[in-house]
Structure 1
């Protein structure tokens, strides 16, 4: 059944579909990496699949985040960073501590032994999937400062910051990924400056050329992944952008078909799924392998991916209906609570 594509409030509906596709790839990728660490998956299959997924699925999230940076900054420049702290730093702190604590307690069952000291370092050096929130927050900090003090040439200056970091190969942990993914965030800002052009880009008839271009990009990225960082980083930028544009094309078409509505739902809940999926997927692997003695990688991949999506989705939906439980994911001030109450009325 076909439904007319619409805007969800101020949201671009196809963007939520893109995030839905992205979060499925995130969960699948982490399930696969967990199985590889446990020695349960074919090495060649893992190498090809891992390279494919990681060549564009995280760039997608940074590009999508960049789409709305300028509009959000202009709407409330004074409160911009406080809002980012509430939506990025807050869940980063809460869930880094929760996940690390669980990993410390269950170290005998997990792939890696996590020392108790990790509880004290996980907020400085991000662990596992939490690098994304950490990186995204500091990318926002960089662009906030540039837009605050040099608004006329802000995007150009930010792009120059990335270019300099690329040329000097700024490998400064834990900020290496901040400079690496700044390129994608800035690309999102650039195409987000014209929402009409953005819509044309998504619904344009570019699917087939993008498939061909993406295939070529993937080939060169795969065969050059073990060369110098200068080559791989540049190829990642190209592959990530082309892959994201292709996902945008797919998403725009998917939103017209009702059977794909679950992609929008997962996209809107992507932060909750992202925060919880490793706990669930790892738990699935432990139960299947340690207790049920199941070692079939296909069963593990399917079970880990499905459970890693579905359980966090419903937990997130349940928590967000509560003023208290929603605190695990974001800080709600009185104004947010009033707006939420009015929306539900």
Structure 2
């Protein structure tokens, strides 16, 4: 399928929001910046749409092939391999720098890594679950029924996996769009309504001190996802901006996997080398490091031909070639 500039741009916007607000959270957790109500509102606003946008787009692209065994095999193996590889690397780095990272890791966390995620790598497990569900949900009606079941499980807290169920709802929503109505039309009034809904949800999240994950706030995230898509579609009309966000969108997976190393590493180095540096400068350099370090690592890995083996590109399992026998002359 040809690439869709609006969706590449949407992924670019989403990964930029992930990176910026992960850096800000890191500085806040380290006690280096304060979190006033404006900062908490901005954080809730970003967390209300960025990862959800990725889930919707992932479901949109996965649905047509999700019933194919080869697709499930390659997709699940690639996601889980990336999850394990970078979770272990992240644990090892955090363990080695236990005196400098915000949250120390334990040996128990390493033992449970195959099923209990650390850091931001839970995202990959959600994609695995959502992709597996799409193997069975092959019609728009079936997908809507799946969304209804997950919503009911979330409301009733059946298995205490309310966050997992809600995240998978976004994956199924993307698949439903692909299987049924297609991408929604872009309307300015609807985009602004989405912004308003996201802002209301973010404000509720701040005032009642709950993250934007309960099912009763899902309308806010849907508004934010649509607003992101509308903005991305608008950006597609500006070649320079579109190239920037499309580039980020096409590299969103290595950026997502590696940005913590760049951002946290930059923050730790700056604190050691220039402890008196003005905080706005330190934050900006850490954000820059969050973008540059993953892109440099990915570029070097591509030159070496190892991106698949370090979990930065999908792994496609090639079926064995049938044996041929030479025919007599």
TM-score, normalising length: structure 1? 0.83
Equivalence for 2:106: 115
Which one of 37, 61, 65 corresponds to residue 54 of structure 2?
A: 61
Equivalence for 1:191: 177
2: distance between equivalents of 1:189 and 1:233?
22
- Deviation digits for residues 137-174 of structure 1, max 9, x if unmatched? 11222332444xxx6842133112212212212453xx
Contact in 2 for aligned 1:66/1:189 (Cα 8 Å):
yes
Q: Does 1:72 align with 2:58?
A: no
SS in 2 for 1:165: helix
Q: Does 1:250 align with 2:231?
A: yes
Q: Does 1:26 align with 2:14?
A: no
SS in 1 for 2:102: coil
Equivalence for 1:126: 117
Equivalence for 2:299: 317
Equivalence for 1:36: 28
1: distance between equivalents of 2:55 and 2:87?
20
2: distance between equivalents of 1:228 and 1:293?
32
Which one of 93, 97, 112 corresponds to residue 102 of structure 1?
A: 93
- Deviation digits for residues 46-75 of structure 1, max 9, x if unmatched? 31221111111111111111112321225x
Equivalence for 2:83: 92
Contact in 1 for aligned 2:205/2:211 (Cα 8 Å):
no
1: distance between equivalents of 2:163 and 2:316?
29
Deviates more, 1:239-248 or 1:325-334: 325-334
Q: CA RMSD in A?
A: 2.5
1: distance between equivalents of 2:64 and 2:136?
16
- Deviation digits for residues 200-234 of structure 1, max 9, x if unmatched? 62xx3x12442244224412442255659799623
Equivalence for 1:343: none
Contact in 2 for aligned 1:26/1:57 (Cα 8 Å):
yes
Equivalence for 2:325: none
Report the number of matched residues: 315
2: distance between equivalents of 1:145 and 1:190?
13
- Deviation digits for residues 25-44 of structure 1, max 9, x if unmatched? 11111111111111111221
Q: Does 1:222 align with 2:210?
A: no
Q: Does 1:159 align with 2:147?
A: yes
Contact in 1 for aligned 2:8/2:245 (Cα 8 Å):
yes
SS in 2 for 1:19: helix
Q: Does 1:277 align with 2:259?
A: yes
Structure 2: which 5+ runs fail to align?
A: 320-329
Which one of 58, 62, 82 corresponds to residue 73 of structure 2?
A: 82
Structure 1: which 5+ runs fail to align?
A: 1-8, 336-345
Deviates more, 1:237-246 or 1:314-323: 314-323
1: distance between equivalents of 2:289 and 2:166?
31
Q: Does 1:305 align with 2:283?
A: no
Distance of aligned partners of 1:13 and 1:194 in 2 relative to their CA distance in 1, 3 Å threshold: farther
Tell me by how many angstroms 1:317 deviates: 3.0
2: distance between equivalents of 1:170 and 1:226?
27
Equivalence for 1:3: none
Kindly indicate which of the two structures has a greater share of residues assigned to helix: 1
Distance of aligned partners of 1:33 and 1:12 in 2 relative to their CA distance in 1, 3 Å threshold: same
2: distance between equivalents of 1:137 and 1:306?
30
